[in-house]
Structure 1
Amino acid sequence: MLINVIGRKTSFLFHIFVLKSVLIFIRDLFLLVTNVCLIGTS
């Protein structure tokens, strides 16, 4: 029972961690593309 709860919590935290990493990656990619576009047009 206890192992099951710990496993679920760990899996939940892992999903949040992955989601955060993906969001940060997308944001960095977006900023990079925006900067390249700004440099390209100026």
Structure 2
Amino acid sequence: MKRPPTGRRLSRHANASVDRIDTPTRIVASASIPSRTKMPKSA
């Protein structure tokens, strides 16, 4: 499946891309967002 032209705009939301790859991964990514904010060292 090739990404549509709007894929460039979706780049802002990495979660959207992850959702297409693996749903469970999105959950982890979502949790990583607040975690990264609290502990930038993790990033």
Shorter-chain TM-score range: 0.3 to 0.5
If asked which structure has higher relative contact order (CA below 8 Å, sep 6+), I would say 2
* TM-score, normalised by the number of residues in structure 2: 0.36
Between structure 1 and structure 2, the one with the greater Rg is: 1
